[in-house]
């Protein structure tokens, strides 16, 4: 058992898979000799050498295109897109190429690769370096989409992503890189498509992802201590596949559903889950499904404004407290 | 705009030029010096004729409403598909575009499989799930046909990177049009291939037009691919794409270079499409007389003359022509007899487990 940062967990997860399988290769901008702009891949170049850990030009299309060509002919590439916002300049691969290949070729070709990317806000980087884009990727059939919230999940889900035969978009949260967590020694392998109940509770279900997970947990403690509301906090972890079993079972127990989403309001992942729950668990509900999201705005750089925009524990407490007022079973 | 009159220009010939000199010398003594040989020549001819006949049949089937959706023919461009494919080795990988019937057929994919896909029948290459723009036959090295302009240049780089990394000797070949040279992925891919010295060969088919706009109207240089090559440290190569021999020789040299580990090549092949961009296009935007001039330089016409020049009998040529017609007819009948794919195919192969499930 060791204490590891989320940042170091990225390098450990990649290293674990590169050690296991020679076909795992890693490419991206400044990822090799410099160890990544977020220092999340330090040591990989030294350990695995220049043939397996490669610095690329600033060519996001070439990075993802090359990863795809290598994946469909036998390698298992991990590609880094430095900031998730940059997915927009290579979105063709994410939207049109990776996820359509197997279907269009009637199963002749597959695309077993991982795209890692620095997702999310909180770092005062402004509107083009702070977005939460997991919903951009969630809406495309053929992709898998994960967003871990803790160091151990980073390693376990990274391993699962690399071993998966589908294209997996792996959203690392930039504001979690410094977060520490306990990580056991030895190989760690998790399962895609599994949510995790981090705090059991009986009054309401809170679904959260990535940076919103610690905030939801903090809010749940306050709600319990100050409002007598016992919340179950579920880390969704994987948007595709989506662990609807865990979510629907939790809602069946609590009767209330809240989502805490960092994405701007429209078409956030919580909207899809709200629709599933409304459709399949309507009679389990004792109150409205409420989404707590960033407002539908670009993110500002100024710290006090960005803090206002992103959901935080006080806002979660305030919203859930108000909705639950008088309706606790 | 480069046109038929420009064929007097100095092509990139290099050793080809020397070859011609040699041929002149031996011509005096009788037959021209044949560096290619009758077997390969007949193969180059057969492929061109079969592609021509199959594309013509595709056109006819459209007008009989038996082919739905869209389709992009390579009529007039057969010399490139044939010349490159004959220079390829088994295991080499082709990355094609929506105008990819020719390149797919050239790798030996049966006509029935191609026409079946165009007709969206169960006997098609992808059983109708991909359609005419995405022809793929992995067993023949056809690693997909891509319909987002430029996307497959980086993908071909990735395949070449795999070969380099694993020490495999295959070359990845990427076909695209003149219009594709103005999208970012083209430039990213060339730089990427050059810096990593990848075994990839880029083949630009310059047919003078994007969909409807002449390439010269929207491009800062005369030769949209070759004139950019030097920006990526590559040789400027422009060849006559309507002469399958020239294509074959040039491709062979590029493949040999790639296989030796000496990196990528970019070959711009001058050609012309005889029909419109797609079936919806009557090609009214072309100046009067342009098509007629290019028909004089029809690759198959050129090649028939070439065969005669090298002493191949008319009977041999006629046999190939007849066999091609027979193949197209047989393929057409097989396609007409084939059912549509079963409806279960709607949701297969979205994910690697064969299904489409996104939740539990
Ligand atoms: C990114 C993108 N932009 C536009 C199109 C629409 N489009 C399809 S084919 C084509 C013309 C391409 O011209 P060229 O590269 O010369 O190839 P050709 O069709 O002449 O073989 C265009 C603009 C597309 N498929 N993808
Ligand atoms: Mg063109």
CA separation for the pair A150, B130 (Å, rounded): 40
Q: Which domain holds residue A251?
A: 196-324
Looking at the structure, do residues A65 and A154 belong to the same domain, yes or no?
yes
How does DSSP classify residue B209?
Answer: B
What part of A 90-129 touches B (C-beta under 8 Å)?
Answer: 92-93, 96-97, 101-110, 112
CB crowding A20-48: b at 16 or more within 10 Å, else e: eeebbbbbbbbbbeebbbbebbbebbeeb
- Taking the CB of residue A303, how many other CB atoms lie within 10 A of it? 11
Which residue in this structure is represented by tokens 């709600």? A223
Q: Residue B206 C-alpha to ligand 2 middle, in angstroms?
A: 5
CA separation for the pair A175, A325 (Å, rounded): 32
Residue where a domain stops, chosen among A183, A218, A233: A183
In CATH, what number is assigned to the domain containing residue A127?
3.40.50.970
User: What pLDDT does A327 receive?
Assistant: 52
CA separation for the pair A221, B83 (Å, rounded): 71
Q: Which ligand is nearest to the CA of B147?
A: 1
CA separation for the pair B66, B58 (Å, rounded): 9
Residue where a domain stops, chosen among A141, A156, A183: A183
Looking at the structure, do residues A240 and A280 belong to the same domain, yes or no?
yes
Catalytic entry in A129, A171, A173, A256: A129
**Strands A180-183 vs A2-5: parallel, antiparallel or unpaired:** antiparallel
Residue with CA at minimum distance from ligand 1 atom 10: B211
Which two structure tokens, joined as six digits, stand for B318?
């006629």
CA neighbor of B202 nearest in space, from B131, B149, B132, B152: B152
Work out how many domains chain A is built from and give that number: 2
Instruction: List the domain boundaries for chain B.
Output: 35-326
**Does residue A285 belong to any structural domain of this protein?**
yes
- φ/ψ region of A225 (left if φ > 0, alpha if ψ in -120 to 50, else beta) reads alpha
User: What pLDDT does B11 receive?
Assistant: 45
Looking at the structure, do residues A71 and A161 belong to the same domain, yes or no?
yes
Looking at the structure, do residues A35 and A158 belong to the same domain, yes or no?
yes
Interface test with A, best of B69, B128, B352, B355 (most A CBs within 10 A): B352
Assess whether the C-beta atom of B149 lies below 6 angstroms from ligand 1: yes
Q: Residue B211 C-alpha to ligand 1 middle, in angstroms?
A: 6
Looking at the structure, do residues A120 and A27 belong to the same domain, yes or no?
yes
CA neighbor of B103 nearest in space, from B127, B79, B67, B69: B79
Q: Name the CA radius of gyration of chain B, rounded.
A: 20
Looking at the structure, do residues A240 and A214 belong to the same domain, yes or no?
yes
Interface pTM, i.e. ipTM:
0.97
pLDDT tier at A329, thresholds 50, 70, 90:
very low
User: What pLDDT does B33 receive?
Assistant: 73
Looking at the structure, do residues A284 and A310 belong to the same domain, yes or no?
yes
Looking at the structure, do residues A43 and A140 belong to the same domain, yes or no?
yes
> pLDDT tens digit string along A95-154?
999 999 999 999 999 999 999 999 999 999 999 999 999 999 999 999 999 999 999 999
Which two structure tokens, joined as six digits, stand for B342?
């079963």
3-state class percentages of chain A: helix first, strand second, coil last, to nearest 5: 40, 20, 35
Kindly provide the residue ranges of all beta strands, DSSP E only, lying in chain A, ordered along the sequence: 2-5, 24-28, 53-55, 76-83, 114-119, 144-146, 168-173, 180-183, 196-199, 204-208, 231-235, 238-240, 257-264, 290-294
CA neighbor of A121 nearest in space, from A37, A181, A211, A39: A211
> pLDDT tens digit string along A176-211?
999 999 999 999 999 999 999 999 999 999 999 999
CA distance to partner chain B, nearest, from residue A162 (Å)? 13
Contacts of B359 in chain A (CB under 8 A): 241-244, 276
User: What pLDDT does A238 receive?
Assistant: 98
Determine contact, residues B327/B47, Cβ cutoff 8 Å: no
Looking at the structure, do residues A13 and A135 belong to the same domain, yes or no?
yes
In CATH, what number is assigned to the domain containing residue A303?
3.40.50.920
- CA angle A273–B347–B115, rounded 5-degree value: 145
> pLDDT tens digit string along A15-72?
999 999 999 999 999 999 999 999 999 999 999 999 999 999 999 999 999 999 999 9
Low-confidence ranges of chain B (pLDDT < 70): 1-32
User: What pLDDT does A201 receive?
Assistant: 98
Residue with CA at minimum distance from ligand 1 atom 23: B211
> pLDDT tens digit string along A294-321?
999 999 999 999 999 999 999 999 999 9
Contacts of B148 in chain A (CB under 8 A): 92, 96-97
Looking at the structure, do residues A28 and A115 belong to the same domain, yes or no?
yes
Residue where a domain stops, chosen among A142, A162, A183: A183
**Does residue A120 belong to any structural domain of this protein?**
yes
In ligand 1, the atom with minimum distance to the C-alpha of B210 is 13
Q: Kindly determine whether residue B130 and residue A106, on different chains, have CB atoms separated by under 8 Å.
A: yes
Q: Residue B205 C-alpha to ligand 2 middle, in angstroms?
A: 7
Contacts of A51 in chain B (CB under 8 A): 165
User: What pLDDT does B280 receive?
Assistant: 79
Helix (H) or strand (E) holding A34: none
Q: Give the CATH number of domain B35-326; options: 3.40.50.970, 1.10.150.120, 3.90.110.10, 3.40.1110.10.
A: 3.40.50.970
CA separation for the pair A304, A310 (Å, rounded): 10
CA separation for the pair B162, A74 (Å, rounded): 7
> pLDDT tens digit string along A209-226?
999 999 999 999 999 999
Kindly provide the residue ranges of all beta strands, DSSP E only, lying in chain B, ordered along the sequence: 93-97, 142-146, 172-177, 200-206, 238-240, 265-270
**Does residue A188 belong to any structural domain of this protein?**
no
Which two structure tokens, joined as six digits, stand for A168?
């997996």
CA neighbor of A248 nearest in space, from A239, A257, A260: A257
3-class secondary structure, A247: helix
Contacts of B145 in chain A (CB under 8 A): none
Looking at the structure, do residues A179 and A238 belong to the same domain, yes or no?
no
3-class secondary structure, B229: helix
**Does residue A60 belong to any structural domain of this protein?**
yes
Assess whether the C-beta atom of B206 lies below 6 angstroms from ligand 1: no
Looking at the structure, do residues A122 and A225 belong to the same domain, yes or no?
no
Q: Name the burial class of residue A224, with classes exposed (0-12), middle (13-18) and buried (19+) by CB atoms within 10 angstroms of its CB.
A: middle
> Any chain B CB within 8 A of the CB of A275?
no
């Amino acid at each position: 058992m060791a204490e590891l940062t989320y940042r170091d967990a990225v390098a450990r997860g990649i290293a674990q898979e590169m050690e296991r399988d020679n076909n795992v290769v890693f490419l991206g901008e400044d990822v090799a000799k410099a160890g990544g702009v977020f220092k999340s891949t330090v040591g990989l170049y030294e350990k695995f050498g220049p043939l397996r850990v490669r610095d690329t030009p600033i060519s996001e299309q070439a990075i993802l295109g090359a990863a795809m060509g290598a994946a469909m002919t036998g390698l298992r590439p991990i590609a880094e897109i430095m900031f998730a916002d940059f997915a927009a300049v290579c979105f063709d691969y994410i939207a049109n190429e990776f996820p359509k290949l197997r279907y269009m070729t009637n199963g002749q070709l597959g695309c077993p690769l991982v795209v890692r990317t620095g997702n999310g806000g909180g770092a005062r980087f402004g509107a083009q370096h702070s977005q939460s884009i997991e919903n951009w990727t969630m809406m495309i059939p053929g992709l898998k989409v994960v967003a871990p919230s803790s160091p151990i999940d980073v390693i376990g889900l990274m391993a699962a992503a690399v071993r998966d035969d589908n294209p997996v978009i792996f959203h690392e949260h930039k504001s979690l890189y410094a977060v520490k967590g306990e990580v056991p020694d030895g190989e760690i392998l998790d399962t895609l498509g599994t949510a995790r109940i981090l705090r059991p509770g009986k009054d309401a279900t809170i679904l959260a992802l990535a940076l919103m997970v610690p905030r939801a947990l903090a809010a749940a403690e306050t709600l319990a201590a100050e409002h007598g509301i016992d919340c179950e906090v579920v880390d969704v972890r994987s948007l595709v596949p989506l662990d609807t079993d865990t979510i629907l079972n939790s809602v069946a127990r609590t009767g209330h559903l809240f989502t805490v989403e960092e994405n701007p309001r429209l078409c956030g992942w919580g909207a899809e889950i709200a629709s599933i729950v409304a459709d399949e668990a309507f009679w389990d509900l004792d109150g409205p499904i409420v989404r707590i999201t960033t407002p539908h705005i670009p993110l500002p750089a100024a710290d006090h404004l960005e803090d206002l925009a992103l959901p935080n524990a006080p806002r979660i407490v305030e919203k859930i407290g108000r909705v639950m007022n008088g309706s606790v079973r | 705009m480069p046109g038929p009159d420009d064929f007097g220009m100095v092509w990139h010939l290099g050793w080809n030029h020397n070859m011609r000199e040699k041929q002149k010398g031996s011509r005096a003594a009788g037959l021209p010096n044949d560096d290619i040989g009758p077997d390969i020549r007949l193969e180059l001819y057969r492929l061109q004729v079969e592609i021509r006949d199959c594309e013509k049949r595709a056109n006819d089937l459209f007008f009989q409403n038996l082919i739905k959706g869209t389709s992009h023919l390579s009529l007039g461009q057969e010399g490139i598909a044939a010349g490159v494919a004959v220079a390829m080795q088994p295991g080499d990988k082709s990355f094609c575009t929506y105008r990819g019937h020719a390149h797919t057929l050239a790798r030996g994919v049966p006509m029935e499989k191609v026409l079946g896909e165009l007709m969206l029948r169960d006997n098609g290459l992808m059983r109708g799930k991909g359609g005419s723009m995405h022809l793929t036959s992995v067993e023949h090295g056809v690693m997909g046909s891509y319909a987002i302009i430029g996307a497959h240049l980086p993908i071909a780089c990735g395949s070449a990177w795999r070969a380099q990394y694993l020490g495999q000797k295959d070359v990845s070949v990427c076909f695209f049009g003149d219009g594709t040279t103005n999208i970012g992925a083209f430039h990213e891919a060339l730089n990427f291939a050059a810096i990593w010295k990848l075994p990839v060969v880029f083949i630009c088919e310059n047919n003078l037009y994007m969909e409807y706009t002449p390439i010269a109207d929207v491009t800062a240089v005369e030769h949209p691919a070759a004139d950019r090559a030097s920006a990526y440290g590559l040789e400027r190569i422009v060849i006559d794409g309507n002469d399958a021999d020239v294509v074959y020789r040039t491709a062979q040299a590029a493949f040999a270079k790639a296989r030796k580990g000496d990196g990528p090549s970019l070959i711009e092949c001058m050609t012309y499409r005889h029909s419109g961009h797609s079936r919806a296009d009557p090609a009214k935007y072309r100046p009067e007389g342009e098509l007629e001039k290019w028909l004089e330089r029809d690759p198959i016409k050129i090649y028939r003359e070439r065969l005669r020049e090298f002493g191949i009998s008319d009977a041999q040529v006629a046999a190939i022509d007849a066999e091609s017609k027979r193949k197209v007819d047989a393929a057409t009948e097989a396609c007409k007899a084939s059912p549509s794919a079963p409806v279960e195919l709607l949701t297969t192969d979205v994910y690697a487990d064969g299904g489409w499930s996104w939740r539990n």
